[in-house]
Homo-oligomer: A and B are copies of this chain.
């Protein structure tokens, strides 16, 4: 299996991403290809005691899509960027999966232009694994690929999320909830009341509405469905809240010697909190609905995060996820089936 990593995206230096790729490549039976500035990649490989060979390829590119580039324009104008070159490798099947910590909008736009949608899928969705108190993740789709949605889009998010939970995570009969602002049917905005009816009669295990405060406390369902705008707000609110609580505690601790000692004694507890809530260990958010395995890693990805994103891609390839999604869409044409 060959997975390509776009090392020019994200807030960290390419060196950090190359490091993550090398670590996974050593651990797993995966060939890692790096797309980006060839000299930077070679020097990082050398630093970590590797060289370009059968296990570590280099796809050298001259352009970079920046984090704040307007996605569609960037995708159109930067054909020699690591992102577009990487997606073209995926399209031509010289690699099995593409992983990027770059500009999310550009990954979505680039995937749509280069790979196209799976037949029968109206819009792509980003599936974000969220931490829960239970320990098991809950899967939110869409976390930001499609900001304006119809009910039919959400129905397909439900199908794709269920397929992912079943085929990649191994949940036998995943339940699906609709992210809403009330528990009963009829609550919410027009999109949600319409989608509720669609999901009720659909080929998914629909468990009704779920509310945002339940998600990470109670894990009421396996997959939670919403439009990409709401999903992205939800995701960023969790990130901001967890980080605000941690900062507040740190600040209070710094103000008292006794509290400092107390915090030291609670180190284990804080470590558990960090690991439970960190995105480092759930660094990969699959972009579902496009014709190929694409995983978006967190913008602040370090080597560990990139490692877990590559691992998500590996599991998707092993599960043959693109075909499984295609088979889960009633009435769509199934290539080669």
A residues apposed to B, CB below 8 Å = 68, 70, 105, 132-133, 144, 147-148, 179, 181-184, 186, 188-190, 192, 211-217, 226-230, 232-249, 251-253, 255-256, 258-259, 261-266, 268-270, 272-273, 276-277
Cβ of B269 and Cβ of A265 under 8 Å apart?
Answer: no
Among B68, B213, B229, B239, which residue has its beta carbon within 8 angstroms of that of A230? B229
Cβ of B216 and Cβ of A244 under 8 Å apart?
Answer: yes
B residues in contact with A226, CB < 8 Å: 233
Query: Quick one: given A181-B144, A273-B248, are A229 and B265 in contact (CB under 8 Å)?
Result: no
Given contacts A237-B238, A266-B266, 16 further A-B contacts (CB under 8 A): A132-B244, A181-B233, A188-B229, A189-B227, A211-B236, A212-B235, A213-B236, A213-B240, A217-B244, A234-B234, A241-B245, A245-B273, A248-B277, A249-B273, A261-B262, A262-B263
Query: Quick one: given A248-B272, A256-B269, A262-B265, are A213 and B189 in contact (CB under 8 Å)?
Result: no
Cβ of A242 and Cβ of B240 under 8 Å apart?
Answer: no
Q: What distance in Å separates the Cβ of A58 from its nearest Cβ neighbour in chain B?
A: 32
B residues in contact with A213, CB < 8 Å: 236-237, 239-240, 243
7 inter-chain pairs at a CB distance below 8 angstroms, sorted by A residue, are A133-B244, A181-B229, A216-B240, A229-B230, A237-B237, A248-B272, A263-B266
